[in-house]
Structure 1
Amino acid sequence: MDRKDLEALDQADPLASKRAQFTIPEGLIYLDGNSLGMLPAHVPSRLAEVATRQWGETLIGSWNSHGWFDLPRKVGNRIARLTGAAPDSVIVGDTISVNLFKLLAAAAKLRPERRVILSDDGNFPSDLYVAQGFRDLLDDGYRLEIVAPGDVMAAISSEVAVVMLTEVDYRTARRHGMAAVTATAHAHGALTIWDLAHSAGALPVDLAGAGADFALGCTYKYLNGGPGAPAFLYVRPGLQDKVQPALAGWWGHAAPFSFDLDYRPAPGILRNQCGTQPILSLAALDAALDVWDHVDMAMVRVKSEALCQAFISLAEERCAGFGVSLAGPRDMAERGSHVSLRHPEAYAVMQALIAAGVVGDFRAPDLMRFGFAPLYNRFVDAWDAVDGMADILARRAWDDPRFLARKAVT
């Protein structure tokens, strides 16, 4: 494989035209869309319109005249299409952590006789922190059991109330089989919560087909909603009216503008809202989702697998002699849309790469992580990134005080 082979793949790529819809700094190879997606080029003008005309001129009337109040459901339905969810089963708002607390509380209440929350050590640590906080707050015998990813299926038992997993491991890109895990959980009477932070927008997700009970995800990675963009949550339609929100707020009330002193949950997915949502962030996310119109997620997955495979092959061919090795599965069907490479000086190598115009990120203790976003990453990006890494490793350019000193955000 040489660069010309990859250029030919780019020319034949049915998603190639999407790249022009993003703002891409000149000369930058951006392989960190799994942490923060690129800016869709039209989002600033949409934000300016919302801020200057809607907020600036229509003011409070915009809740009605510009549909602000319905934005969480509207945007949720746009995400539903990308995650295999039924209409009106996804709502946008709050953060992943807040939404996870809501869903843990909902699941626990639906299984009041059980006390085990099952997760794995590949889950994003913040999810585990939320579960620990939930456990300690209730102080009612709840246990958080954490097993290795490969041991999850065997650990599901009649004591488990909820199986709480991230579908794609944030470190190694290892992918759980959502349908199989959910079926096993249901066979034992347990519920499932799926974190889609590294799935939504990166690969086909079939929440309805898998029978998932609950799910949540962020929108600032592959969905390109911008830094701090609001998260989303999913509740299976058959459970929606059974959920009793632990974080009950006025936006989740059946009649929010009646200002009743007692809470009555809204029907369906709306009851999972709490307080007033961030309209500017929601507007930016709504605009960002325009780039996904008419995109076939199966096509996205085909390109994602090809990008990751090309990068892995090139990295092992050119960098293995410098102590680089693959983390995570080789089978593309078992991984998400990022590639992690191990190296004893992973942090410094990544900082040197970033300085050279190839942006990925680092995850402790020794992982260089490269995310491939099929809407804007090209096949030649894989070649150029590995070319830069091989040069840095060969010259030991990473062994420099500028690159060895740890920054606050890695």
Structure 2
Amino acid sequence: MRRLQTIRTAHQRRGVITPLAAGVLLVVLAGIALIINRLWLDAASLEVTTCIETAVLAAGHEMVSDELIKDQPDYETLMQRAEHSANEALKLNSVAGQQVGIKLTKDENLLFGKSVPVVETGTRRFLQTDHEPRSIQIQTQSPGRIANPVAEFLSDLTRSHSGTAGAQIQATLDNHVRGVRPFENVAVPAYPLAILKTDPSGKHTQTWELQIDQKQGKDEYRYDPETKTVSKGSDGIPEIILTGKPRRGEISDANMQILDFGSHFNTDIVIQQILSGLTRKNLKQFQGELLFDAGPLPVKCSPNIENGEQDAFQEMIGQCRICFLYDQLEQQSGSFEGTAFCTNMVGGRIMAVQRLDNQACEIILQPGVLSSRSVVLAAPEAEASLNQPVQKIEQTVNKVGQAAGLKESNQNKYIYKLYLTQ
């Protein structure tokens, strides 16, 4: 009888311990699952952020367009192109092995506007506006699951699906340009080419100021950004005719100069710079950078364009690159070489190249717009002069299109830097 009671008691204890052990095991497994879910979500969040950054930069690149230098830029078309490029960029990326299930739509999760300072906090704020937008912001949250089987099982078990990986990213175009600075493996997208800015003597009418700034140049060529080709026809942007030194001419007869950025006018090096840009090694004599906020920059120059250099320019037709402006030239005694005093940078797109009967090289160049990571920016004007509450700034971003206090003097209408600001 006593033995029967002992057996019953043992069976009863087992009945209590087994569910308890199962409960403890379930809690432990749930904890592990939550940790795995957290790690998975963090990884997915990083991937989402990377995807969104790629998309917002793709949109920003579409906003860097020759359209910006036309009399009446078509911002609506630019924003449509930006929306398309951002969505295409998302399609090419994945999160946790799956495509990002996000459709970017203007005014919903893809916003255009300006980055304006907030004096009260010392920070900058995104202000949505379709008038001359310079910033793009993507606000989104990944709507689908993140392909973690443990997390999905627990979500189904608990009927909760709150784990999503979202991102809010902003990119800004800034054209407060001081100069350029190449860095490791990133060259400045520039030609070693200087263009005559002004000629007080009146000898040259083919100057940047007359032909481009005052729009006296002919408009006979057009560039198609879709096909990236040049053709005859008008596009609303004037051209300037650049001419090198003729066979029996002087250095002052030319309105363009080849600049000596460490090439010593060696044709092979000049060709490499035309095709690939300026490297840190090329700018060693300039301390690795070209800055224009401290006055004109003297650079050795030559008006002679060799055949190989002309062929290189021919190969670059349609490509937009940085060029330099000079307004003063000093000829070296007993030589056709000299020194050009460069005052600023512009964007230029070669439309045609030919060799004239007098052996001078002629280049037809149209101004263009480009962005580069190598651009060195000035301190934002707004930090010093836009000392107003953001509410007042919102009121002044109006149909005229200027935020109060923003100065135009140090803005380069051809060269931008595109970077993430949030």
Greater fraction helix: 1
Calculate the TM-score normalised by the size of structure 1: 0.23
Please say which structure displays the higher CA radius of gyration. 2
Q: Which has the higher contact order (CA 8 A, sep 6+)?
A: 1
Calculate the TM-score normalised by the size of structure 2: 0.22
